[in-house]
Chain A
């Protein structure tokens, strides 16, 4: 697992009721992300570590840092499964 996840795909639609649509070209598929998943996906620039993401979320939302770290790892695992984040 990379320390600096890199997002794949492109945001192709403004927010709809269900979330934001991302097109992933290598699998030619569309995925709908909720606000949290989209925010984490946007942070995946290949230079930001999961722990940096978790600390920022914890600071913004006052969520417990361990909980934030766990949420980030879970979201990244889901994004990897969708091929929206590369290892």
Chain B
């Protein structure tokens, strides 16, 4: 008989909650963890309950390739969506609703509390506008600066950028300084965060 049994990871510091959710998700193989560091292998979906610091370190990278449902309070919604979570359920909703949200994200859908949909769409509209402004700023980069920008966005250091582009590390550094000035950046980590946002908004090219 064909089975739809999936591997679901539940990340929560509340043991009783995880145990209850395991019962509700009995048709799936559920593993329980208390922090994202413990995530082993690659589950089919992740349920992340906001119990501690938020947004959680590393969640965005994980949720980018593992369908993730975040559970939290209203103020956690926008950071959750910005962290690539495909579903968001208010923490006081019934467990069955969480199970339903997992099924939806496994099928490629999104789950948002209906009452918060307008506010979330407003946030996305504003984020996209900001992304468009950055895209216009990127147009001000020279071709070489643009090459350096995207290599730096991939995390390469000035020595590695120089090697890739057959220029000296000092020249790479000069390009980076010009890029920072033109885009109002102060560090490579800011550049990487900016590039990630542009990627996500599809205005990289």
Please report the C-alpha to C-alpha distance between residue A59 and residue B125 in the assembled complex, in whole angstroms.
Answer: 10
Q: Are B125 and A60 in contact (CB under 8 A)?
A: no
A15-39: CB near B (< 8 Å → 1, else 0) gives 1000010000000000000011011
Please report the C-alpha to C-alpha distance between residue A33 and residue B133 in the assembled complex, in whole angstroms.
Answer: 34
B38 at the interface (CB under 8 A from A): no
Interface-centre pick from B108, B115, B121 (highest chain A CB count, 10 A): B121
Q: Looking at chain A's contact residues, is the secondary structure mostly helix, strand, loop, or mixed? A: helix
Known contacts being A38-B118, A42-B119, is A56 close to B128, with CB within 8 Å?
yes
A62 at the interface (CB under 8 A from B): yes
Known contacts being A35-B117, A39-B118, is A60 close to B124, with CB within 8 Å?
yes
Q: Are B114 and A56 in contact (CB under 8 A)?
A: no
- Pairs A-B, 4 closest by C-beta atoms: A42-B118, A35-B114, A39-B117, A56-B124
Q: Are B114 and A15 in contact (CB under 8 A)?
A: yes
B120 at the interface (CB under 8 A from A): yes
Q: Are B115 and A43 in contact (CB under 8 A)?
A: no
Closest to A48 in B: B125
B120 contacts across to A, CB distance below 8 A = 60
The count of chain B contact residues (Cβ–Cβ below 8 Å) is 18
B169-205: CB near A (< 8 Å → 1, else 0) gives 0000000000000000000000000000000010000
Please report the C-alpha to C-alpha distance between residue A77 and residue B5 in the assembled complex, in whole angstroms.
Answer: 43
Interface-centre pick from B81, B108, B118, B120 (highest chain A CB count, 10 A): B118
Least Cβ–Cβ distance between B106 and chain A, in angstroms: 14
Least Cβ–Cβ distance between A84 and chain B, in angstroms: 13
Which B residues have a C-beta under 8 Å from some C-beta of A? 81, 108-110, 112, 114-115, 117-122, 124-125, 128-129, 201
B118 contacts across to A, CB distance below 8 A = 38-43
Please report the C-alpha to C-alpha distance between residue A58 and residue B115 in the assembled complex, in whole angstroms.
Answer: 18
- A52-B128, A60-B121, A62-B109 are known contacts; what are 4 more A-B pairs with Cβ within 8 Å? A38-B114, A42-B121, A43-B121, A56-B125
B109 contacts across to A, CB distance below 8 A = 61-62
Q: Are A55 and B122 in contact (CB under 8 A)?
A: no
B110 contacts across to A, CB distance below 8 A = 60-62
Least Cβ–Cβ distance between B84 and chain A, in angstroms: 12
Q: Are B108 and A39 in contact (CB under 8 A)?
A: no
Least Cβ–Cβ distance between A49 and chain B, in angstroms: 9
A61 contacts across to B, CB distance below 8 A = 109-110
B128 contacts across to A, CB distance below 8 A = 52, 55-56, 59
Interface-centre pick from B81, B112, B115, B117 (highest chain A CB count, 10 A): B117
17 contacts between A and B (CB under 8 A): A35-B114, A35-B115, A35-B117, A36-B117, A39-B117, A39-B121, A41-B118, A42-B122, A48-B122, A55-B125, A56-B125, A56-B128, A59-B128, A60-B110, A61-B109, A62-B108, A62-B110
